[in-house]
Amino acid sequence: MPAAKTALLVIDVQRGILNDPILARKKEINQAFDETVVRIAGLIARARTASVPVIYIQHDGGPGHRLEPETSGWPLRPEIAPHPGEQVIHKRACDAFFETTLDAELTAAGIKQLVICGCMTQYCIDTTVRRAVSLGYDAVLAADGHTTADTDTLRFEQIIAHHNALLDGFDAGEHEVRVCPVAEIRLV
């Protein structure tokens, strides 16, 4: 059986995504974000080499939001900037499929498997991974390719570990999520 056609989804890796001035551990969170961006950039480079489509999801926040379009926090991080011809799909909710063209674009390209990385583990990553599987895609979540900030009750490391454990093996019918480190992800 031939390998499923794969696309790489890069979700909300934007300049201001973790730019909250009241974060207690801002230095640690920003360092972890920078390290995650380096791993994502490597994954993007591997995808391009393998001719795997890279699709960027960019959050458009409302007025006053840190990701409001055309503000300093809205652009994608320069380390992972799209190449000409790579798609950028704009969203306004946690779910990258909600009120976007993502599903139609994937269907038109014959994509059956998604490799997912990016930001806001407990919101945009979790919601998009679950929705992808329920829509009939297999998903590979990059275990060390997503990040978030602390909440009032959990540190970002705990949130990431929890979601990696929770989502690994999550399924809907015959489609499921596998969680594995960036270095172990096969792009075909």
Q: Of residues 94, 117, 119, 124, which has the active-site annotation?
A: 124
Rounded Cα–Cα distance for residues 169 and 186 (Å): 18
Contacts of 48 (CB under 8 A, 6+ apart): 54, 83
Structure tokens at 141: 């979540």
- Is 124 labeled as catalytic in the residue annotation? yes
Residue with tokens 């056609």: 5
Buried-exposed string 32-46: b where 16+ CB fall within 10 A, e elsewhere: bbeebbebbbebbeb
Q: Which are the catalytic amino acids?
A: 124
